[in-house]
Amino acid sequence: MTLTVKNTAKTFPDGTRALLPTDLTVGEGEILSLLGPSGCGKTTLLRIIAGLEQPDAGSRVFFGETDVTGLAVERRNVGMVFQSYALFPNMSVRANVGYGLKVRHVPKAERDRRVDEVLQLCRLADYADRPVQALSGGQQQRVALARAVAPRPKILLLDEPLSALDAALRDSLRDELAAMLRQFRITAVFVTHDQAEALAIADRIAVMSEGELQQVGAPEDLYHAPASAFVARFIGNAIPLTGERDNGALILKGGRLELAENSANKEVYVRAESIRLDPEGSLAGVVETAVFSGGHYRLAIRDVLSDGALLQAHHPGKTAPKSGDTVRLSISPSDLLYLSDQPSGPK
């Protein structure tokens, strides 16, 4: 089932514009992530799709060809995984998962069959008759997912499904969640503020900021060709390079940096992983700190950027320069990001 959102906006009673008029389409079976910092309107959009929030007049939400804008949440047939999971504490795992079928009056035999099937898929069969409070965070998350998909919803919605877990568990469950979502083949929208989560799970990512869609595209496209400074910063933590232009190059405090052609009038951004230690490099700086983080060293280098900020670089070697060492750096012109000047950006 495709999901189409047309001209959809939300203004709260106090006048706050949580969501500016937005158009978005999610293809059949596609997993789309709404990514953005807190307060960017992503949860509002999700809740409007679910029917939990009433959008402003003129907004339209379609499931396939059907306009569901005026349809109450309980009649939309969506599945939703809540940030807190919202498992019913008065019911067992099985009763939670079967709830959506029960309230739709699916006969008991059919209901039991479907519940068993979903419990199996979510590896919950062994816990079926436990009370939900007796489960670990990861298990609760799977119950929430199983409960949402058991009634075979048209659209699956997930609101920060991993954020209630601690960091270690979150990383391991991320790929598992991605795999489970794929096997259900349900059109899914999931909200997150964590770019790693979005990159790992989503087919396409919609980056949002201040109630507006910034860019929608495949994870690779957003990473390699961000449409705005905000997207560049938010996905991959690109930082701006500022300095005087000199004949196709940028003059930084640490030296001269060659730019690609057609870069005039565009802002230049760079990511830590694009910076190489290179004895022949055109830039010079002094190592402030060098932190070993497993796969690489994270270097903070001073006296390179003209604004006095530290330049972050990832260095994959087995040894690293020490604090106080002077190093030379190079950045390939094709690894730099060239973005048109535009107003929206992080504040």
Partner 1 sequence: MNRSFSWWLQLAVTLLTAAFLIVPAIQSILAGLTVSYFRGLSSGLTLKWITRVWELYADSIFLSLWLAVSCLVVTLVIGVPAAYALARNPGRLSRVLEEFISLPLAVPGLALALALLQLYGTVTGFRTSWTFILVGHVLYTLPFMVRSVLAVLMAMDFKTLEESAATLGATAPTRFWTIIVPNAMPGILAGALTVVTLSIGEFNLTWMLHTPYLKTLPVGLADSYASMRLEVASAYTLIFFVMIVPLLMAMQWATARAQRIAQ
Question: Which residue ranges make up the site for partner 1 (CB under 8 A)?
Answer: 50-52, 72-80, 82, 84, 86, 88-90, 99-100, 103-104, 147-148, 151, 157
Decide whether 61 or 205 has the Cβ nearer to partner 1.
61
Burial of 134 (0-12, 13-18, 19+ CB in 10 A): exposed
208 close to 40: Cβ distance less than 8 angstroms: yes
Decide whether 38 or 334 has the Cβ nearer to partner 1.
38
- In the bound complex, what is the minimum distance in angstroms from residue 155's beta carbon to partner 1? 10
Which helix (H) or strand (E) covers residue 257, if one does?
strand 255-258
- In the bound complex, what is the minimum distance in angstroms from residue 170's beta carbon to partner 1? 20
d(CA 149, CA 145): 6
- In the bound complex, what is the minimum distance in angstroms from residue 88's beta carbon to partner 1? 6
- In the bound complex, what is the minimum distance in angstroms from residue 258's beta carbon to partner 1? 54
Decide whether 76 or 170 has the Cβ nearer to partner 1.
76
48 close to 10: Cβ distance less than 8 angstroms: yes
- In the bound complex, what is the minimum distance in angstroms from residue 90's beta carbon to partner 1? 4
283 DSSP β-pair partners:
255, 329
146: CB partners within 8 A, 6+ apart? 97, 118, 119, 121, 122, 124
- In the bound complex, what is the minimum distance in angstroms from residue 73's beta carbon to partner 1? 4
Structure tokens at 302: 């001073």
Decide whether 26 or 327 has the Cβ nearer to partner 1.
26
23 close to 212: Cβ distance less than 8 angstroms: no
3 close to 189: Cβ distance less than 8 angstroms: yes
- In the bound complex, what is the minimum distance in angstroms from residue 249's beta carbon to partner 1? 55
238 close to 230: Cβ distance less than 8 angstroms: no
d(CA 35, CA 214): 10
- In the bound complex, what is the minimum distance in angstroms from residue 178's beta carbon to partner 1? 22
d(CA 85, CA 231): 29
CB crowding 207-231: b at 16 or more within 10 Å, else e:
bbbbbbbbbbbebeebbeebbbbbb
274 DSSP β-pair partners:
none
